[in-house]
A and B are shown apart, each in its own frame.
Chain A
Amino acid sequence: MSAHAVHAPTGHRVAWPLVLRVAWKNVRLRYKSSLLGFAWTLLNPVLYLAIFLFIFSRAFGQVDNYPVFALTGLILWTFFATTSAHVLGALVENAHVLRSLAVPPLVFPLAQLFAGLINLLFSLIPFALLLAAFGWRPQPVHLLALPALALFAVFVFGLSLALCTLNVYFRDIGLLWNALLPALFYITPIAYPPDLVPADLRWVAGLDPLYWYIDLFRTIVYHGQLPDAGRMALVTVLSAAALAMGMVVYGSLRRGLVANY
């Protein structure tokens, strides 16, 4: 029989099998009562793409193969918008569990991140088929998209974990995020090419971290080029900084969580 001092009980050790189990449950529940189920992961960006094609393809005629350009942006955007929103709500939505079982709270935001990743990985296959329909052909360099996506996932998690923790104390955060997401969508060059931004405003566009991830992803998947080292370094630093910020906010407010869910 093990004696344990209940000193740092809600511990920092996160059990990974548990995270994956909860993540898988989240994936299943997300589409459980919908007719089209998993297809929504794909339908959502495709609907966006249809709108883009209808409205923008003439306007941005100078973009070579606009559907592939738009889709490469939309894949990242869809992951960002859905995963950040799900991670943001993870602590508040599991309040009843966290108040009654000694589960490390971090399990729930992590599980939402992994649910988002599982969704993304599944959707890459139909996305690849769709891209192929628009004339895109896979090349070895495209495999670099996977580490790029991993870096993006770290960034999304760090940012959302900070928001998720603050949201426990101030529910305004979740509401604010809902309002900010559409604004971010238009600020980030997803539907339009980045060189459309007037030269004197480009530095503003560069302040948007999403720009750098989408740019990296497009360099690899749309242009089929190797990303240069400087860009890689910048994106890696952004991801590390976001993760550090998330962990610091979570770590400093963790003790107060249980009274405020």
Chain B
Amino acid sequence: MRTEPMIEVRGLQADYHVQRHGYRSIKEYLVSFGGKRLLERRRVIDGVDLDIAAGECFGIVGRNGSGKSTLLRVLAGIVEPAAGSVVVRGRVAPMLALGVGLEPELDGIENARLCAALMGGDRHAMRRTVEHVRAFAGLAEEDLHMPVKRYSTGMMARLGFAIATTDDPEVLLIDEVLAVGDAAFQLKCYDRIAELKQKGGTVVFVSHALGEVQRLCDRAGCMEGGRLLKVGGTHEVGVFYHGLLGIPVGE
């Protein structure tokens, strides 16, 4: 039995470098030959400590702009930490937005191959991804050979989730993308998430739907202003989050 956590975050800070607006800043930059900063740092994650165990599903709630998605991006390796450390002990499959990596003109099968390659897979991984899409996405063979520009949002979600969950990823990161599937597919996703957990996989799940978080997650955290203000049981965190939003408890 593993003792060390699957995800270990210590003193994490992350910044976005945003350009300083206006003509003056460009002029200053050019006149100083790059000496003056063209970009301004904006702190998005400001001191986060978090351990998530293998086989655990961790939910993250919080207001828009509180840093939830950025935290997932750091875990996915898309945003570099400015300070602190992040260790992820396993293969990460990010599902951070709907239809990511999908090329509208290509069909479902070609897209599955392309996405597998973009996620770092080799020829074999690409073949397995196509097999998993056929078996799991619940799309007709005819749909799989149609350009994804003609897909509905729900069909895109099916394809995306099937691609992301190929090969039983050890860490699955989900950013509010399951809500668009129909009820049948959502149930199928929940089952798949449960299956991945049983195999020792870790799921990090960002959502505004507290019901979903309570249903899926073992623990949860609430983010505000780039900090994890509260970590605990899903009910406890839900109550805290509602308090933060000023919504009466019990709703």
Provide the bound-state CA to CA distance between A246 and B175, in Å. Answer: 34
Q: How far is the CA of A171 from the CA of B87 in the complex (A)?
A: 36
Which positions 46-103 of chain B face chain A at CB distance < 8 Å?
73-81, 85-92, 94, 96-97, 99-101, 103
Contact digits for B159-175, partner A, Cβ 8 Å, 1 yes 0 no = 00000000000100000
B146 interface contact, C-beta 8 A = no
Is the CB of A196 closer than 8 A to any CB of chain B?
no
In-complex Cβ contact of A3 among B16, B76, B87, B118 (8 A):
B87
Interface residues of A in 2-46 (CB under 8 A from B): 2-10, 15, 17-18, 21-22, 25, 29, 32-33
Which residue of B17, B87, B114 is within 8 Å of A4 (Cβ)? B87
Assess whether A1 is interfacial by the CB under 8 Å rule: yes
Identity of the chain B residue whose Cβ is nearest the Cβ of A32 in the assembled complex: B105
From B74, B106, B120, contact of A25 by CB (8 A): B106
Closest CB of chain A to B101's CB: distance in Å? Answer: 5
* Among candidates A7, A15, A18, A29, residue contacting B105 with C-beta atoms closer than 8 Å: A29
**Chain B min CB distance to A255 (Å):** 6
Q: Closest B-chain residue to A21, C-beta based?
A: B117
B80–A18 touching, CB < 8 Å: no
Q: Which of B75, B120, B122 contacts A6 (CB 8 A)?
A: B75
Query: In angstroms, how far is the closest chain B Cβ from the Cβ of A243?
Result: 19
CB A58 to nearest CB in B, in angstroms, measures 44
Interface flag for B239 (CB, 8 Å): no
B-side interface size class: 35 or more
- Are the CB atoms of B96 and A5 closer together than 8 Å? no
How many whole Å from A176's CB to the nearest CB in chain B? 13
Q: Is the CB of B118 within 8 A of A258?
A: no
Whether the pair B78, A96 counts as a contact (CB closer than 8 A) is: no
Judge whether A9 and B80 touch: CB under 8 Å: yes
Within 8 A of A (CB), among B92-135: 92, 94, 96-97, 99-101, 103, 105-106, 114, 117-120, 122
Confirm or deny: A179 has a beta carbon within 8 angstroms of a beta carbon on chain B: no
Please tell me if B249 contacts chain A, counting CB pairs below 8 Å. Answer: no
Is A100 in contact with chain B by the CB < 8 A criterion?
A: yes
Nearest CB on A from B55, distance (A): 13
B39 in the interface, Cβ–Cβ < 8 Å?
Answer: yes
Find the A residue at minimum CB distance from B54. A1
Chain A positions 60-106 with a Cβ under 8 Å from a chain B Cβ = 96-103
Residue of A3, A32, A100, A260 near B19 (CB, 8 A) is: A260
**Are B17 and A100 within 8 A (Cβ)?**
no
CA distance A5 to B73 in the complex (A): 14
Chain B hits for A170, CB < 8 A: 19, 26
Would you call B18 an interface residue if the criterion is a C-beta within 8 Å of the partner chain's C-beta atoms? yes
Q: Is B180 an interface residue (CB 8 A)?
A: no
Residue of B nearest to A15 (CB): B120
Q: Are the CB atoms of B81 and A29 closer together than 8 Å?
A: no
Within 8 A of A (CB), among B1-43: 16-19, 26, 34, 38-39, 42
A102 to chain B, nearest CB (A): 4
What are 20 of the A-B contact pairs (CB < 8 Å)? A6-B74, A6-B75, A6-B86, A9-B76, A10-B77, A10-B79, A25-B114, A96-B99, A100-B78, A100-B100, A100-B101, A101-B96, A101-B119, A169-B38, A170-B26, A255-B17, A256-B16, A256-B39, A259-B16, A260-B17
Give the 5 A-B residue pairs with the shortest CB-CB distance, closest first: A9-B77, A256-B17, A259-B16, A102-B77, A100-B96
Q: Known pairs A2-B91, A101-B118; list 17 more (Cβ under 8 Å).
A: A1-B89, A1-B90, A2-B89, A2-B90, A9-B76, A9-B79, A17-B122, A29-B103, A99-B96, A99-B97, A100-B78, A100-B97, A102-B92, A256-B17, A260-B17, A260-B18, A260-B19
